[in-house]
């Protein structure tokens, strides 16, 4: 009788897990699909100079541009943009992945950082190559290539997200703080770019959509590269 009851309990628990599991599987597909669809629609609007261009103009008019605003915000914005320079952030994240792999004897940190940087570089450079768009302050960012999508913003969200994931596995108790800091840093970079007129609003929004989708595909589905990290601190 006890065995039967136990079996019933075990059998009764399983159906309760199915809806949650099914919902997660659906979200794993729907969320990146929605993000990529939104990015594609925004890209079309940018290419055809659609309604989004009017919003770009409004945000440009509401922000001062480099050298036209208060000195302190200008300087802070320039410092943030310099720190967020893609080659610097990419090198730092790859170095972090390599160091963690050496310390733990696991390939997972280097695989995650390498895959993230590869996807980031390929998608952003492809977008800049295919879409001929100048920044609001073309002189300030001359030689930087196309403006859409924003390389600084995409680098910020991908690199900060990867670091947050690494910290979350090394220090699980600090997971929420790590992701809040990653989101805060990404927002700070986006605001600095808009304040200085280094990018249009649609450039920044496009990178936020693209970067969020790439992070989801890397960490949640289908690659799930974060699952192999375990405790990267090696303890």
What element of type H or E holds 75? helix 71-83
Among the listed residues 91, 219, 222, 89, the one whose alpha carbon sits nearest the alpha carbon of residue 166: 219
Among the listed residues 49, 61, 66, 45, the one whose alpha carbon sits nearest the alpha carbon of residue 198: 66
Q: Give 44 or 228, the one with higher predicted confidence.
A: 44
For position 228, what pLDDT does the model report?
A: 87
For position 19, what pLDDT does the model report?
A: 64
- Which residues are CB-contacts of 216 (< 8 A; sequence separation ≥ 6)? 31, 32, 35
Among the listed residues 192, 174, 163, the one whose alpha carbon sits nearest the alpha carbon of residue 84: 192
Provide mean pLDDT across the span 213-218: 96
For position 5, what pLDDT does the model report?
A: 45
Give the count of beta carbons closer than 10 Å to the beta carbon of residue 149.
30
Among the listed residues 7, 157, 163, 46, the one whose alpha carbon sits nearest the alpha carbon of residue 100: 163
Instruction: Compute the residue count for the chain.
Output: 235
Percentage of the chain beyond pLDDT 70 is 86
Whole-number Å distance between alpha carbons of 100 and 95: 9
Lowest mean pLDDT among 27-31, 42-46, 105-109, 132-136: 132-136
For position 9, what pLDDT does the model report?
A: 41
Summarize pLDDT for 72-123 with one digit per residue, the tens. 999 999 999 999 999 999 999 999 999 999 999 999 999 999 999 999 999 9
List b or e across 156-169, with b for residues whose CB sees 16 or more CB atoms inside 10 angstroms. Answer: bbbbbbbbbbbbbb
**Please, what's the largest Cα pairwise distance for the chain?**
81
Lowest mean pLDDT among 3-7, 56-60, 131-135, 179-183: 3-7
Whole-number Å distance between alpha carbons of 216 and 214: 5
Summarize pLDDT for 133-190 with one digit per residue, the tens. 989 986 555 445 689 999 999 999 999 999 999 999 999 999 999 999 999 999 999 9
Q: Give 2 or 57, the one with higher predicted confidence.
A: 57
Among the listed residues 212, 181, 205, the one whose alpha carbon sits nearest the alpha carbon of residue 191: 205
Domain ranges of the chain: 18-228
Q: Determine if the pTM surpasses 0.85.
A: yes
Angle, CA of 99, 104 and 108, to the nearest 5°: 80
For 142, what's the count of Cα atoms within 13 Å in the CB-facing half-sphere?
Answer: 2
């Amino acid at each position: 009788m006890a065995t039967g009851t136990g079996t019933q309990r075990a059998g009764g628990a399983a159906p309760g897990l199915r809806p949650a599991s099914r919902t997660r599987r659906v979200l794993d597909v729907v969320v990146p699909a929605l993000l990529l669809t939104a990015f594609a629609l925004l890209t079309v609007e940018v290419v055809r100079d659609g309604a989004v261009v009017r919003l770009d103009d409004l945000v440009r008019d509401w922000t001062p541009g480099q050298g036209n605003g208060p000195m302190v915000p200008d300087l802070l914005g320039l410092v943030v943009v310099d720190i967020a320079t893609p080659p610097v952030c990419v090198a730092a994240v790859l170095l972090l992945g390599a160091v963690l792999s050496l310390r733990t004897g696991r390939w997972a940190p280097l695989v995650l950082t390498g895959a993230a940087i590869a996807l980031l570089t390929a998608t952003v450079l492809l977008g800049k190559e295919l879409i001929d768009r100048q920044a609001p302050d073309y002189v300030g960012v001359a030689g930087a290539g196309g403006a859409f999508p924003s390389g600084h913003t995409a680098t910020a969200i991908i690199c900060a997200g990867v670091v947050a994931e690494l910290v979350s596995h090394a220090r699980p108790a600090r997971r929420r703080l790590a992701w809040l800091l990653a989101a805060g840093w990404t927002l700070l970079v986006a605001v600095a770019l808009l304040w200085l007129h280094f990018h249009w609003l649609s450039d920044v929004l496009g990178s936020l959509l693209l970067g969020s989708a790439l992070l989801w595909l890397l960490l949640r589905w289908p690659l799930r590269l974060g699952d192999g990290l375990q405790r990267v601190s090696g303890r």
